[in-house]
Amino acid sequence: MPHFTVGILGATGIVGQRFIEMLVRHPWFEITALAASETRAGKKYGEQVDWRIGPAVPEEVYNMEMIRLDPEEIKADLVFSALPSDVAREVEPKFAEKGFIVASNASAYRMEEDVPLVIPEVNPDHLALIEIQREKRGWDGCIITNPNCSTIILTLTLKPLMQFGLKRVVVTTMQALSGAGFPGVPSMSILDNIIPYISGEEGKVENEPLKLLGELDGDHIRMADIDIMATCTRVNVMDGHLESVLALMESNPTVDDVKKAFKKFKALDLPTSPEELIILRDEMDRPQPRLDREEGKGMSVTVGRIREGIRYLVLGHNAIRGAAGASVLNMELAAKEKLI
């Protein structure tokens, strides 16, 4: 059984808290360092964090002394980054240069040609970019990224549709408040309201799937030839992104064809993998965030209302499957394949 010591960068935020939740009793990973801003360095984690995701800060990390975002201070084999993208762009390469494996949830390096952008069930072969990245940048370590939360939920359903000649996707996202971090959206902006724009989000949803669904071609990814148009909105839901999808394909599959394809798309054999990757709902009013976001401990996506066209709704837990859980799954795959 693999064993790695891990640090968490940005440990006090919503995604950092999810990392701790998923790693504190992980069979392969042991938390040995929690890092955050300079003002929190030297203080106990449990006394500095506004814990938002459970009844209490896990006792295993409560008294852990927080350290600075400095690779010289962190004793670990790899680090999980929950840093904001502007901070990640500066900090993550410093860790990679020093030999750390950086599992990044930030957008800063996702679309770099030599950086793997991975969903393990979709494009595990793209991890081959690790060695190309190391050679090109002269790093002993590397950066491995997972996609945007909405992108992950969408792409897990697009991958099984590729066999039908997927050509065009129109998607509208209804994104949860936790996706904006803490404290998120001001209450007077979101109560009794839907915000029909999220800065920078639509470009990620339109472009990241093209890399994920593309083909590894030597030292780069040949992007998938799919036209994706996205409208991203913020809704008054705590967790769980719901997405309305129209998928146009060359072979015009039936609803039954699509259902069979979804059912055949299986989860991997990794500690964080759900038993069922895509859960189908036959009820006309499902999926719903409050009822379905915790499926597979937050690592499954739920699909319903599949209609001729092909049109459907997909729901996933943005902070688990769409963020922390995605990074953890990436590292589990890399460890299993002995790439780290």
Round the average pLDDT of the chain to a whole number and report it: 96
Average pLDDT over residues 68-91: 95
CATH of the domain at 140: 3.40.50.720
Residue 21 dihedral angles phi and psi, to the nearest 5°:
-55, -40
Same domain, 14 and 128: yes
Q: Give the structural domain span for 77.
A: 4-147+323-336
Specify the residue for token string 């790439």. 339
Q: Is residue 253 located within the same domain as residue 279? A: yes
Torsion angle (degrees, nearest 10) of CA 144, 19, 159, 125: 30
Residue 53, both tokens = 């995701």
Distances, alpha carbon 79 to alpha carbons 11, 24, 139, 258, 298, in Å: 11, 14, 15, 38, 22
pLDDT at residue 2 in the model: 86
- Confidence band for 271, pLDDT divided at 50, 70 and 90: very high
Residues 198 and 140 in one domain: no
Strands 166-175 and 227-234: parallel
What pLDDT, on a 0 to 100 scale, did the predictor assign at position 333? 97
- Indicate if 12 and 117 belong to the same structural domain: yes
What pLDDT does 127 receive?
97
Bond prior to 20 in cis (omega within 30° of 0): no
For residue 278, pLDDT beyond 90: yes
Contact between residue 46 and residue 20 where contact means Cβ atoms under 8 Å apart: no
pLDDT at 37 over 90: no
Residues 163 and 245 in one domain: yes
Strand 278-281 and strand 241-249: the pairing is unpaired
Judgement on whether residues 170 and 132 belong to the same structural domain of the protein: no
Q: How many domains does the chain have?
A: 2
Looking at the structure, do residues 53 and 188 belong to the same domain, yes or no? no
pLDDT tens digits for range 183-242: 789 999 999 999 999 999 999 999 999 999 999 999 999 999 999 999 999 999 999 999
- Based on the domain organization, do 132 and 218 belong to the same domain? no
Residues 119 and 227 grouped into a single domain: no
pLDDT at residue 38 is higher than 90: no
Judge if 265 and 133 occupy the same domain: no
The CATH number that applies at residue 209 is 3.30.360.10
Which of helix, strand or coil describes residue 174? strand
301, 329: one domain: no
* Residue with more model confidence, 269 or 37: 269
Judgement on whether residues 181 and 129 belong to the same structural domain of the protein: no
User: SS in 3 state form for 7-26?
Assistant: EEECCCCHHHHHHHHHHCCC
Catalytic annotation, residues: 149, 241
| pLDDT band at 52; cut points 50, 70, 90 | confident
**What local confidence, expressed as pLDDT, does residue 1 receive?**
79
Percentage of residues of the chain with pLDDT beyond 90: 93
The reported pLDDT for the residue numbered 208 is 98
- The residue written with tokens 């060359």 in the block is 250
